[in-house]
Every structure is written in structure tokens, then in C-alpha cells.
Chain A
Amino acid sequence: MTTRRESSDKVPETTNKKLPRRDFFKKSGTAVASAAILAGSLSACNFQAKNKSKTKKRLAMVIDLRKCYGCHSCSIACKSEFNVPLGVWRSWVKTIDKGKYPKVKRSFLPRLCNHCENPPCVSVCPTQASHRDDEKGLVDIHEERCIGCKMCIVACPYDARFSHPTKKVANKCDFCIHRVEKGVVPSCVNTCPSNARIFGDLNDPDSEVRKLVDTNKVQVLKPELDTEPSVFYIDLDEDAVGGHITT
């Protein structure tokens, strides 16, 4: 279950992407052992057990759907930040209509990589390109290690991954880690007109995300899969939780 790469592993020089000196790829055993998280309230104690190390981060996003009006500002922020080619998205918004005239409801579901604590994409990766980086606190991809086998794309239950059309490697949201490292929020958070996206370190008890998760009835997508997403929704439409998630 556990994959590990020694800190002495060399980073290929062909990439421009900065990599940390020490990378741990670890699938959390505690997470697997923990009870399945049901759609609904995630109490603070659910997480306390896993917050063993205070030095490790768990980057997380809370999306307050009461504020989201489906404007796609996040979709384009992401598209431009990474010059994402046509046909694929790292961040997008799903719209769901239901009900009968005149009682019709529409809900919006912004989507991105869930940066799971138990990421199925990581466990299937044959080259450890896809990894959970516990120092940074997210699921990331070493592009130079990716052989483009697409196993992770199939394994992701959230359709969050795609094969980059020109780089021919797996690609997805990385929480704009290149901005976060420099002290700036991810691009989609920056642009959200209603401040519906709140980003931070879930392992920091004083962070806004931590407080929101502790004090609100938050939900995750497909909780029955025990993937333990790091993207939490406030006021998620239950049909969207249980329903088939597509782009």
C-alpha cells in the first residue's frame, strides 16, 4: 500500500517545474481505516485523528455553494493561468436543473481535483508520478515521471484528470501550488467574485478552511468511496452528491 521514494532520487533536468528536495509518497493507512464519511456533517473529530503531524500540511478548499452563481470565472482563471489547451479543464462548473415548472431549481457545482487523502489515482500509478505530497499537502504529478498510461485518469472517480494534449502526460488541478508557494491564493480563489472559494491548510487549527469545516455542515463528493477529498462543499445539492458527476 505504501510507496516511497528516497530523498536522494534525482529530479530529471528536463523539467522546468521546481520540485522539493524531499518528496514523500504515502497513502494514509489511517484514512483507510477511518469510517466512511457520509454526505453530511463532518465533525471536527473526524480529522483530529489524522492530524498527527503539526508540520505537515493538508491544503484544502471549501466552496460555499450558497455564494456560487455559476459564472465560470474560476473556469477561465484556471484556463488562462496554465494556458490549458482546448478540450480539457483543470477546473470547471457543472450546472444541474431539477424540478417541474414553475418549481424549478438550478444548482451549480464547481469542480476541480479533490486532492484526496486516499487518492485512487496515486495507488494505480506505476511510476509514482502521481503522488500525495504530504509536505505541501496535496496530490501532485511529477510530469517527468509520467509515462502517459492514463491509469490515473481511469482511476479517478471524479473525472478530475486528463491527458494533456500537447505534453502527453496526466494533468489536473494542483491548487496553483506555484502561487501558493509564493504566498498568493490559487487563481480560482483570487477571481471568484463572491468569495465562494476559501483556501488554506486544514491542519492549521486557526485557518479559515479549518474553522469552516468545523462549524458548517460540509459535504464531499462520493463520500462512499472513502477517498477523503480535500475539497469541501457547503450547501451541496444532495442529488449532485449521489448523482453521476460529469463535466
Chain B
Amino acid sequence: MFRLNRRNFIKVAASCGSILAGMGELSRVNALTGTLKLEEGGRDFSPDSGKERQAIPSACWQCVARDTILSYVEDGRLVKIEGNPASIRNRGKICAKGQAGINQVYDPDRVLYPMLRVGKRGEGKWKRISWDEALDLLVNGGDISGHSVKGLRNLLDEDHPEKFMFHYGRMIGSDSKIIKDNFLPAFGTNTIGNHTTICEGGKWVAQELIWGKHYDVNDVEHTNMILNFGCNFFETHTSHIQIAQRAINAMTERGVKLYTFDVRLSNTAAKSTEWIPIKPGSDLAVALAMCNVIMINELYDHDFIETWTTVTVEQLKEHLKRYTPEWAEQLSGVSASMIKSLAIEFANANPGTCISYRGPVAHYNGVEAERAFKMLDAICGYIDVKGGTCHGVEAKWKYPKVEPDKKPKQLNIIDGFPGDAAFPNHHVSHQVLKMIKDGRFGRPDIYMVYCYQPVYVNGECEENIQILKDEALVPFLVTVSPFYGETESLADLILPDVTYLERSSWDDMVCYDMIPEFYLRQPAVKPLGEARQFQDVAIELAKRLGLNLPFNSTEDFIKKSCEKSHVDYEYLKKHGVWHDPDEKPHYLSYTKTLTIEDYTGNNILFDSKTGVYWNWEKSKAGSIEEAVSKGYSDTENAYKGYIGQRIGDKVYAGFKPDKVNKSGKFEIYSELLKKKGFNPMPTWFPVPDIENKKDDELILSTFKVNVHTQSRTANNKWLSEINHDNSALINPITAGKRGIKNGDKIKIKSAVGEIIMKTRVTEGVVPDLIAISFHLGHWQYGRFASGRKSPFGADSDNDLKLKWWSEHGVNPNWLIRNRPDRIAGQWLMNDEIVTITKV
């Protein structure tokens, strides 16, 4: 399908012009001698020697955007990172964080050798051990400072592989497939945790209920208007550079307007045509009122609504008529006239696109808000069209997958307490430690944490520490990390992972050109010390445990994936990226019609209730009779067998479901939600905590700045030099009422904790709210992050002597309760209520 032939190669080669040209004549001529002609990038030189630096195409991993990069190496040292100009995704550009990735590799506080705890847990006493000793302990168990622990083999012998819990923060692409689709199933555990519900799990679940799989791509490059609800994409986004560069081009070159609703003047709000301050938790009301305005004014896309959604125009009008702009103004503080005019402008933009993110989503009504945003796009006919809101397009890698002898088992501690969340499609990670503490649903004997800081990134930091410190609750805590974070400081065994710049993997993040791009991450330098890529460690663990995997190294896995996916491995190594030059942008993929061969067969059923054709054998139905009697909607995992959607006399690809048995329609009316007792239509309901807030209380809002990720960059000296301290942002009116002046220290108190920090009285935040960034306030993670040297810290970096800041900020998570929203299990991080007093 994606085979590289000679014709394609020439096209691709042309798109990689700047890299290839770099090898030619240009590199030898002083460009200043004639008319100055400069290349945009692809080459870099030492400012001291003038020598060309070696460029190694790779991929970033500072954040989930995973842009393509060129790593520049000089005398064996990684010195510079730029965007890969051959990439159609980030187009040769990379953000501040991406360039500071060098600081990850050379962090003087890195963990470079396997470390075994020798003192009490959390005491900070360690012994360096060999990899052989470390893996022997992990496989066979043993004694840790007088405390006996079970090993992986013991769990297999006891037939309790599920008591090995693997909890990761970031693990995507081939890194994930090697572990989640091979090592862990081969071992037999499905007790696998992630961290999605402290990010945007609610957004994904809303989308799964309404149109299928995330990610949503706002095609800002081709749109005519952007409505943005609480997303700070000029500073941070799952596709930050891709969306930011395309949005700013659209705005400056075509005059596209961007309106941002936010409780805070983020850089995105500041760069918008207009910042529209909005009361926390009320975005849903504004979106519903806009939908109402569009319906009343007959500006909707009649055909899309009637053909592709699960409602009629009349039903929508009837449902929405109560949501008047005047009603929404009362709730949101956004004027009715503004709501009306923006709604009409949006419907007439043709196309427009509605962006949203954690601002509205991390509220009690966040899933409903996200459904309303998608409804707003849908009723205007902006779904999957050029310039509208589209289904993300990503590289579909094929890869080796183990066929386990036994079905993996699971401890029921990853989806939250029973009744917590109706659709925990992305698990409920912030409840894992609470469930371990509770104990009713079992506890892992071995709790392995990978690229994740549960102590720091979840709320209720104090409780997290106490749980992980307790050997009775967590008998064996193993962390896999290149850094000495807060969680590592409580571990029994630390396995030093490589950084992403010493790593090999393939990757697949969505492309805003709507064309799949295959790309590779390859080491810029050899791993420092004895750091090992965990995927290779897992392969060795499998060998020690006698488990068979269909590959023998990470590199072997990548090569086999390339073969299966018909992607040229050597080409990828050389250029870092590949896309099929004949591929056209994947718009309107839901309208593809299926042939009769596609939806006929012995195992294919037609569900007359939903109009879905599905292959019952891919579901969990035991027999065809069971599948027929239960039907598509009520058969577990029926969505996995989804084939197409009948509409009239045709069968379409439709809006393919993911994780829930949604039909192939755009489900504005959701039968799935109705069955669980929720409103089937996007419906207003308030956030109880905000609704019940007393006058002297404030709402806590957290946010990200442009130079940090959530928990993994405070150790990057160049980033922390720009942003190492934070203040609580407070509106002058709110501050004035409390006698607080700019720079005053205040105590901020919630139901679960208190912190003390400086204030910044600013006009750029709504009243009755306090806003705190959440990347700082580390108490470990090395000297650049916290001022604290790790037990393994070296004095190898001259900049340690030049570090000029001693403040390291405050982490607001000490204040926030770990509570899930009732639909998706999304962490209600934006619903916390606090009081403040001047210190």
C-alpha cells in the first residue's frame, strides 16, 4: 500500500530538498560573496570551528505532539535540535521545549545505573547494582532492606500475573506496542494503567460517544473562522506546533478570526481577535446557546443533520430552544449579543472550526461541553470537511503481535471505584492509588511505574506519598525513568531508562495535512552510563521468564513493522519521515461507500435498530445466536466488528466507533448515554462545586505555560531559566476585596491541602478565581527543577555554578482532590474550591 517505488522516491526526495541539497555545492561556498541566498534549515555548523554538525533525523518526545526533528551532533555530543524540514507535519519547526531536549540527555542529576534502595523507603539511600542483579531481583524477588518482595516469576508460579501492575505516563508508538501488545500480554497481566484522565480523557470519551476515535484535527489552515473554548494551542496542545503554525498563517495571511473563551488571558487568548472572558464551567451554556441561535436563524446544514446525525432538525430546534443567549449570559458572563453575533458569524463562515481542550473539559460537565462543541461544528456542516473539524489522520503501522497462551488477567483497580465513571474508556488513573489503599479490589505485588510521576501529577500529593511509602500497600515499587523524580525517590528499585534522544522507535502522531506520515525516532547519541531502553529490558525479561515474543530486539521490532507496513526502513533511517506522495488529504472519509462484498459474509450481521453492519466474531458474543439476540448495541465489544452504516439504500464507512458500541452515525442523540441514565442530548447542567461556592471562596484553575510540559521539563535548565517560579494569578477586584496586593504571599487552602505562594495581581484573569501554572514546585527531579541534588547527581555541568534562581515554584496539585467526572472519569481538576488568606 505504501510501497516506495522509484516514482514515489523522486517525489519524496524533492520534498526533502533542503536536506539533500545540503550535501552539495552550497556547503562549500561562502554565501556572503554574492547575492545572499539562504536555505531555511537542514544543516547546522559549529560557531567555534565552523565544522558541519552531523544531522540525525529523529522525533521529539518532550510532549505528546511528537514532532519530527533533526538532532545535531558535534564530536559525539548532542548540541542542537531543529525541526525536520522534510516533515509535512511540523514543517521544519519545533518549539522551545523540543529544542531544550538536549537538557534531558545531559541533566547532571540523571539516573544512569540501576539503583536499589538500602535505607527506609523514601530515605534517599541507594546502592548501585548491575543490570543482572536488578533483573534477577525483578524476576526472582528477594530482600530489599529487610523487606521481602516477590518477583515476576513468583507471580507466574502463583498464577497471579495480574498482580504485576504496569502504570505508564507516556508510552506511544512502537514503545507502547512492544510493551502493551507483546510483553505484558505474554506475561499475562492486563493490569495496565495510563494517565489519560488527568489529561483529556473526558474529551476523548465525548468524541467516542459522538463520532468515534480521537484525535480531532481542527483544520485551521483552511478554515474561515475559529471558535476556541479554553484551549491554549499557541502555548501547548497535543499537536502544538502543527496547529499553531497553521492557525497563525490563516490569521495573518487570510484574515481568519479567532475568538477565545477562557478564564485567563493565555498567550492564545492574547493572540486572538478577541479574548472573551468566561465564568469557569459555563462553556457548555455558551455552546448550547450558539447552537440555538444557529437553528433559530435557519443557518444549519439541513442535509448533514437529517442524513448523518441521530436527530432531526425539528428535534434539535425543540431541544435547544430553552438555551437562549440571554440565559447563557446569566451563567457565563458572555453577553447575549456577543453569543448571537459569533454564532451567526460562525454559521456563515463556511467552514469554521471549533477548538476545545482541558479548560472546559476538566469540569463536572466537561464531557457534555465537548459534545456540545462537536454539535456546534456538526449543525453547521463542518465535520470532516476541508477547513472544518476532522478526524485525525495518522500512520497505520502494522507490527508483530504476540498470541498469548492464556487470556491476560486484570486487577479491577484501573477503571475507578464501581459507579465512578459510566464510560471509563481511558481508565481512571487518578483513582489507582486510592484503590490500592482501599484494597477491596486487590493490590499489585509489583507496581512498576514507567515515565510517570503519580505522586506529583495527580491531586492530593500528600496522600499519594503516604500510599507509596507504605510497604504493606505497595510491596515492591519499581520505577523506570532516566530521572530522579518524586516517585523515584520512593522506589525500591530504579531501572534507568534512556531519554527519547537515545531511543529507537517508530511513531504515528496525527498529521494536520490529513495525510498519514510515518516517522522514526533514532538515537542521537549512545545511552549515557548504563541507561537502557526499557523495551530492550522487557525483551530480556521475557527471555528470562521463558516467554516467547515474535521479535528479539527493539530494532528487530521496528524492522519487522516496516516490512509489514511496506515502509522502507533504510529510507526512514536516512530521512526520518515518509508519506505516500500520491496520498490525498483524508476529508469526508465517512462518506465512502462500501461494496456489497464489504458487508456480506457468514459472520456479518445487519443490526436493523442502528443500521450497522458488523462482524459478530470480533465481539465478545459466544455465538451467532447470542449476537443476533443481543444485537449490536448490547453485545460487548461489538464496535470492534463494525463494518459500515446503512443510510437509505447505501452502506457507508460512516463514523467508525471506537471503544463503545456507537452506530456509524454522528450521535448528537446518544442512546448509549441514555441507557446509563444520562441525558441523550447535549444538555446543560451546572458544576455543583462552582454552583455552591460561597462568596469568600475562589475557584482554582490550573494552566500550562509555553516553555514547560506538565511534569517532565523542570529539569531542563534552559526552560526553567525562563520559567522557574510561579505566582497565583488573581484579578484586582478579587484581590482588592481581600486586601491583597501584587506580590503578597498568600495561603491557599482546599479540602485536602494548603500551599503558600506569591500572588500576581493581573487584569488577565476573571474575578472569583485563582489561576496557578502546573509544572513547577518539584521537590525532586534534580537541581535545575528543585534545587535538590539527586543522590546520583554529578557536577558535570558548568551551568550548575551559573544557576541564578533559587525559587522553584509551587505545585497546585497538593490542593486538588482526585475526583472523577461521572461519565468519563476525567479528573475534575478545574472544579476545586479554595480559600485564600494573606500570610
CB contacts (< 8 Å) of A104 on chain B: these are 265, 270, 275, 763-764
Interface residues of B in 246-298 (CB under 8 A from A): 248-249, 251-252, 265, 267-268, 270-271, 275, 277
| Chain B nearest CB, measured from A223 CB (Å) | 24
B267–A69 CB distance below 8 A: yes
Interface residues of A in 182-220 (CB under 8 A from B): 182-185, 187, 189-195, 199-201, 204, 206-207
A193–B40 CB distance below 8 A: no
Chain B, 798-812, contact with A by CB distance < 8 Å: what is the 0/1 string? 110011100000000
Chain B, 90-110, contact with A by CB distance < 8 Å: what is the 0/1 string? 001111100110100000000
| Chain A nearest CB, measured from B9 CB (Å) | 25
Is B48 engaged at the interface, CB distance under 8 Å to the other chain?
yes
Spot the interface stretch: A38-46, A119-127, A173-181. Answer: A173-181
The number of chain B residues with a CB under 8 A from chain A is: 73
A101–B763 CB distance below 8 A: yes
Is B26 engaged at the interface, CB distance under 8 Å to the other chain?
yes
Which of chain B's residues has its CB closest to A135's CB? B32
- Cα–Cα distance between A100 and B765 once the two chains are bound (Å): 11
Is A75 engaged at the interface, CB distance under 8 Å to the other chain?
yes
Is B81 engaged at the interface, CB distance under 8 Å to the other chain?
yes
A80–B762 CB distance below 8 A: no
Chain A, 120-156, contact with B by CB distance < 8 Å: what is the 0/1 string? 0000000000000001110000000000000000000
| Chain B nearest CB, measured from A207 CB (Å) | 7
Which of chain A's residues has its CB closest to B248's CB? A194
Is A244 engaged at the interface, CB distance under 8 Å to the other chain?
no
B31–A181 CB distance below 8 A: yes
CB contacts (< 8 Å) of A242 on chain B: these are none
B707–A185 CB distance below 8 A: no
Is B728 engaged at the interface, CB distance under 8 Å to the other chain?
no
The number of chain A residues with a CB under 8 A from chain B is: 62
- Cα–Cα distance between A201 and B79 once the two chains are bound (Å): 28
Residue of B32, B718, B802, B804 most packed against chain A (CB within 10 A): B32
Is B46 engaged at the interface, CB distance under 8 Å to the other chain?
yes
CB contacts (< 8 Å) of B79 on chain A: these are 80, 83
Chain A, 35-77, contact with B by CB distance < 8 Å: what is the 0/1 string? 0000000000000000000000101000010110111110111
* In the complex with contacts A77-B99, A184-B44, A193-B244 CB distance below 8 A: yes
- Cα–Cα distance between A73 and B42 once the two chains are bound (Å): 17
Interface of A is mostly: loop
- Cα–Cα distance between A79 and B707 once the two chains are bound (Å): 14
Is A10 engaged at the interface, CB distance under 8 Å to the other chain?
no
Interface residues of B in 576-596 (CB under 8 A from A): none
A136–B32 CB distance below 8 A: yes
CB contacts (< 8 Å) of B82 on chain A: these are 77, 187, 190-191
Which of chain A's residues has its CB closest to B22's CB? A184
A73–B802 CB distance below 8 A: no
A180–B763 CB distance below 8 A: no
A87–B802 CB distance below 8 A: yes
Chain B, 27-40, contact with A by CB distance < 8 Å: what is the 0/1 string? 10111100111111
Is A2 engaged at the interface, CB distance under 8 Å to the other chain?
no
B763 contact from A16, A99, A179, A206, Cβ within 8 A: A99
Which of chain B's residues has its CB closest to A99's CB? B763
| Chain B nearest CB, measured from A74 CB (Å) | 8
- Cα–Cα distance between A104 and B102 once the two chains are bound (Å): 36
Residue of A66, A72, A77, A108 most packed against chain B (CB within 10 A): A72
| Chain B nearest CB, measured from A241 CB (Å) | 19
CB contacts (< 8 Å) of A190 on chain B: these are 40-41, 82, 92
B83 contact from A57, A97, A100, A191, Cβ within 8 A: A191
A-B contact list, 15 entries, CB within 8 Å: A16-B49, A71-B267, A73-B99, A76-B719, A80-B100, A97-B762, A97-B764, A100-B763, A178-B47, A182-B52, A184-B39, A185-B40, A195-B245, A195-B249, A201-B36
Contacts from B to A (Cβ < 8 Å): 26-27, 29-32, 35-50, 52, 79-83, 92-96, 99-100, 102, 234-235, 241, 244-245, 248-249, 251-252, 265, 267-268, 270-271, 275, 277, 706-707, 717-719, 721-722, 731-733, 762-767, 798-799, 802-804
